[in-house]
A = this chain, B = another copy of it.
Amino acid sequence: MNEIDIIERIRSRAGRQAMELGIGDDCAIYRPRAGEDLIFTTDQVIEDVHFRASQPAANIGERALARSLSDIAAMGGDPRFCLVALAVPQKRGEKWIGDFYRGLLKLARRTNTALAGGDLAHSEKIYCDVMVCGAVLRGKALRRDGARAGDAIFVSGRLGRPWDRKIVPRLALGKSLVGLATSCIDLSDGLSIDLHRLCVASGVAAEIDRIPVMQGSTLDRALNGGEDYELLFTMPPRHRAPRGTSRIGTMMRADRTRQPGAIRFQGQPVEPRGYDHFSLATGL
């Protein structure tokens, strides 16, 4: 099977519902709908950094898309389409590429994300970069900078997930938070550092009372491990925790004793740790 066949096969399964023009020209064309803002994110997965080549190709493809979809969820967005840049060693061949796309496209279909285009190359190691475009009602995206002192802090699910576990982007939850949450971020690097970032962006500090730890995991991993891909968000205190989420604490005014971004857990200061992002991957 040559390059044109591979592309034809991918194209035939790409789903172009959202697109004015999909795979096959110099650019894909998207026609914005009235009253929507578009949101964009891109995430890399790299062999021997984010995964081993011995993992099933379909899982790698699914994971590559899931990480970017988690960012769309964190903004309260609806995914519209993705562009997939993939570079693979020659020896991997068409079977590997087919399996990779099978995994990716299965999640794409389930989340209504069209595959609008991309780039295919050879390289020594497997490298993939997935850009996702999503849509939100104009001005309604969930941002990091809207938390206020007094807001309650929530997380979805339970934290401390093993790094290779399947990622389920919290798209439905993210959408349900639009108009309710004052801020939101996805937990890709670890609760302590992601909460720190949200607090810095919002100019507040955080008091954490409790953390929902995944069975078999540890408090340290729940606090400082990465790759949970749950949502961390804030709401005014009158709101109840949405289904599947737990209230973990309260936002505090930053003052002379608490810098913006300072976190305490059960009264003790917490250093923002978690992954050393640059040794992995980090959003600009």
Please count how many residues in chain A sit with their CB below 8 Å of the partner chain's CB atoms.
Answer: 75
- A235 CB within 8 Å of chain B: no
Find out whether the CB atom of B127 lies under 8 angstroms from the CB atom of A127: yes
User: Using Cβ atoms and an 8 Å threshold, which residues of chain B touch A201?
Assistant: 24-25
Which chain A residues in 6-29 approach chain B with CB under 8 Å?
6-7, 10-11, 20-21, 23-29
Find out whether the CB atom of A83 lies under 8 angstroms from the CB atom of B30: no
A127 to B121, CA, bound (A): 11
Candidates B26, B134, B141, B277; contact of A74 at CB < 8 Å:
B26
Residue of B nearest to A70 (CB): B26
Find out whether the CB atom of B119 lies under 8 angstroms from the CB atom of A26: no
A127 to B277, CA, bound (A): 17
- A interface, by DSSP: helix, strand, loop or mixed? strand
Find out whether the CB atom of B129 lies under 8 angstroms from the CB atom of A119: yes
- A255 CB within 8 Å of chain B: no
Find out whether the CB atom of A39 lies under 8 angstroms from the CB atom of B46: no
What is the total number of copies of this protein in its complex? 2
Find out whether the CB atom of B123 lies under 8 angstroms from the CB atom of A284: no
Given contacts A37-B31, A40-B28, contact A280 B121 (CB under 8 A): yes
A131 to B29, CA, bound (A): 14
Which chain A residues in 23-61 approach chain B with CB under 8 Å?
23-32, 36-44, 46, 48-49
User: Using Cβ atoms and an 8 Å threshold, which residues of chain B touch A44?
Assistant: 85, 87, 119, 121, 127, 129
Which chain A residues in 127-147 approach chain B with CB under 8 Å?
127, 129, 131, 133-134, 136, 138, 141, 143-145
A2–chain B nearest beta-carbon distance, Å:
7
- A77 CB within 8 Å of chain B: yes
User: Using Cβ atoms and an 8 Å threshold, which residues of chain B touch A10?
Assistant: 284
Given contacts A32-B32, A71-B27, A131-B131, contact A49 B121 (CB under 8 A): yes
A284 to B143, CA, bound (A): 32
Which chain A residues in 236-284 approach chain B with CB under 8 Å?
277-284
User: Using Cβ atoms and an 8 Å threshold, which residues of chain B touch A116?
Assistant: 40
Query: Which of A40, A133, A134, A282 is most buried by chain B, counting CB atoms within 10 A of its CB?
Result: A40
Candidates B20, B123, B283; contact of A37 at CB < 8 Å:
B20
6 contacts between A and B (CB under 8 A): A25-B201, A27-B40, A28-B40, A32-B37, A90-B279, A115-B284
Beyond A83-B131, A120-B282, 20 additional contacts (C-beta under 8 Å) are A10-B284, A24-B201, A24-B284, A26-B41, A26-B144, A27-B39, A28-B41, A29-B141, A31-B138, A32-B38, A40-B116, A40-B117, A40-B133, A42-B83, A42-B117, A43-B85, A46-B127, A115-B284, A122-B278, A124-B124
